[in-house]
Every structure is written in structure tokens, then in C-alpha cells.
């Protein structure tokens, strides 16, 4: 009989950035329930402290790591001080939607600085930690359907997410000899506190629903299954790939 794939994360340690709310928080919850010891990283101490308290109250191993991923040396030092890592979700990100002709240098520096520059160096810090640990690992870069297509008013965001897709493919080649896999998750529009204001515009909401072939917006629960799969041994042959969770948007 063919063995059932294992989605257990028992005995593994996971770091999730942007874990104060939304997708990052949901992934941390699911990883903890799957047996991982989790570190929730965000700038918002109150949010991650509350999350850690809740997880510990449910009997899980969880820790708060207050920090800003755009502080490259500070984040690298925090990662170096951890006992070890086998799972990393490179999730922190932001957006400032506007027409390309209205994008300012401040917009560019803020969004590219977080979505691409900080993500690159966060991945670098964790790669070093995983190589040092010698146990292999799984790195999940949070990308987007907009890392594969274009969209009006999202030129800057698209540029950063296409960059993440290229980074993922390249670094997966470098890290494969160390047993470290690197993949992306590419959601469509997901209802979170960050995105909720977008959907208050009926025209934008109608546009999204017309392109998402399954006829609904994404929910954080739609993302956690993919995140668990990529972190677990069930995806042990998958690296340098993108998981499209777009409800059929990019299908055409």
C-alpha cells in the first residue's frame, strides 16, 4: 500500500514574517497546530504577543520576534540568534496602488524596499542559518498572481513580485545542494485587514470577481493549505516553483 504523505511539522522550527495579522498570522497558527515551534515576526509587538499568548494557551510552542525586516542587519542578527530553522515564510509585504505615472520615488523606495530588498536579505539571512543547521529546509516566498501577469495601477507591485519569482527560481538552484527548497505562493486578492479597503470600491470588487473564475475572493484559509504542503515532506520534490492560488484568474 502506498504510504500516506505526511503533513506533520513535528520537531521543526518555523519563522514567519508579517505574522501579526492576515495571511502570516494564519500560517503561524496552522504550523503550530501541525507540530512546529513557531516564531512570529512583525513590527507590531501587541499583535504578535497576543497571537503567541493564544497559541501557548492552546498548548503550542510559539515565540514573538519583534522586528522590522527592512532593518537588514537587525533582522540578520535576530535570525542568527535563533536556535535553528527548517521553515521560513518570507511574507512581509505592502502595496501602494496608483497609476505608473503617479508613482513617486518615495513609493518606489517603500514598496520595493520591503517587497524585494528586505525579502532578498531576509532570505539570505535564513539561508545562512539553514545551511549552518545542516538539516535542510523549506523557504516559502509570498508572491502573488501579479508576479505572473500585469494589472493597471499595480506596476510597482508587479515589478516587485516578478522580482520575487525570479529570485525564487535562481536561489532554489543555489540552495538545492543543501537540501533547502524554495518556492512561492501566488494568491489572488485575499480578504485581509490590509486589502479590505480595496473592496469597498464596488467597481474594483466587481472587476476582481469577474476575473476570479471560481467567483469569490480568497480567504486566508485558502492559503494555509498550500503553506502547510510546501513546509512539509509532502512537497519534498518541489523547488523553484510557484503555487497559483488565484481562482483561475491567470488561466485567461
Q: Which residues are catalytic?
A: 157, 161
8 Å CB contact between 185 and 142 = yes
User: Which sign does the torsion angle of CA 16, 19, 22, 26 carry?
Assistant: positive
How far apart are alpha carbons 94 and 174 in whole angstroms?
Answer: 27
8 Å CB contact between 28 and 88 = no
Amino acid at each position: 500500500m502506498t504510504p500516506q504523505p505526511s503533513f506533520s511539522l513535528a520537531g521543526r522550527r518555523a519563522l514567519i514574517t508579517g505574522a501579526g495579522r492576515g495571511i502570516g498570522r494564519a500560517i503561524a497558527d496552522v504550523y503550530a497546530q501541525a507540530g512546529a515551534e513557531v516564531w512570529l515576526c512583525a513590527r507590531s509587538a501587541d499583535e504578535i504577543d497576543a497571537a503567541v499568548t493564544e497559541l501557548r494557551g492552546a498548548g503550542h510552542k510559539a515565540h514573538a520576534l519583534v522586528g522590522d525586516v527592512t532593518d537588514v542587519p537587525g533582522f540578520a542578527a535576530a535570525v542568527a540568534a535563533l536556535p535553528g530553522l527548517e521553515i521560513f515564510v518570507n511574507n512581509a509585504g505592502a502595496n501602494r496602488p496608483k497609476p505608473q505615472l503617479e508613482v513617486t520615488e518615495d513609493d518606489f523606495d517603500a514598496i520595493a524596499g520591503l517587497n524585494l530588498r528586505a525579502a532578498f536579505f531576509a532570505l539570505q539571512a535564513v539561508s545562512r542559518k539553514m545551511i549552518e543547521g545542516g538539516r535542510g529546509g523549506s523557504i516559502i516566498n509570498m508572491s502573488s498572481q501579479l508576479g505572473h501577469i500585469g494589472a493597471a495601477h499595480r506596476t510597482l507591485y508587479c515589478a516587485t513580485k516578478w522580482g520575487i519569482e525570479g529570485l525564487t527560481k535562481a536561489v532554489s538552484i543555489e540552495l538545492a545542494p543543501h537540501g533547502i527548497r524554495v518556492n512561492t505562493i501566488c494568491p489572488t486578492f485575499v480578504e485581509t485587514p490590509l486589502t479590505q479597503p480595496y473592496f469597498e470600491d464596488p467597481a474594483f470588487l466587481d472587476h476582481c470577481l469577474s476575473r476570479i473564475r471560481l467567483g469569490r475572493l480568497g480567504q486566508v484559509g485558502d492559503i494555509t493549505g498550500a503553506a502547510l504542503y510546501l513546509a512539509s515532506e509532502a512537497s519534498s520534490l518541489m523547488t523553484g516553483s510557484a503555487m497559483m492560488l488565484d481562482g483561475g484568474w491567470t488561466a485567461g
